[in-house]
Amino acid sequence: MKFLNMVAALTLPAEFAVMGSAMVTVLDNLRERGGLKGADVANIAAVSAATVSRWTSGKALPHPKTQLLISDLRYVVDRLAEFYSPEETRVWLYSRHRLLDGKRAIDLIHDGLTEDVLAVIESLDQASYT
């Protein structure tokens, strides 16, 4: 029985490595396209910077609910990258916006209100955002 447990332990990291490398890619994308640092992701996901560091190094994976939040953030960053540089994208995410009732996009994403943020970005796409 111990042998089977050892074999199972040896096969798990391969699956974990694939999922881990996908998360590393997402986090790299957030840094490159959105100018977001590990501390930014940690703030949005309500985890420690050390936790994000473990995700970035592939040593751990976020909880599935947190993965959804990070995927929403990535989508928003990808949309903003159509209009702004990474540094401008980060500033946009942290700034208060009139069309978001004075709220910050980063807070709305954290609260699960990504659709509200995307509606404002859609208005950018239609060149009606002021």
Is residue 130 in some structural domain? no
Closest CA to 84 of 37, 44, 36, 40: 36
Q: Count up the domains in the chain and report the number.
A: 1
Closest by CA position to 94, among listed 40, 130, 50, 49: 40
Q: Is residue 41 part of a domain?
A: yes
Asked which of 10-14, 73-77, 90-94 is least confident by mean pLDDT, the reply is: 10-14
The amino acid at residue 97 is H
Instruction: Kindly state whether residue 93 falls inside one of the protein's structural domains.
Output: yes
Considering the chain, what is the average pLDDT of its residues? 86
Which pLDDT score is estimated for 21?
83
77 domain-assigned: yes
pLDDT digits (tens, 9 = 90+) for 3-50: 444 444 444 455 545 556 888 999 999 999 999 999 999 999 999 999
At 17 the pLDDT is 52
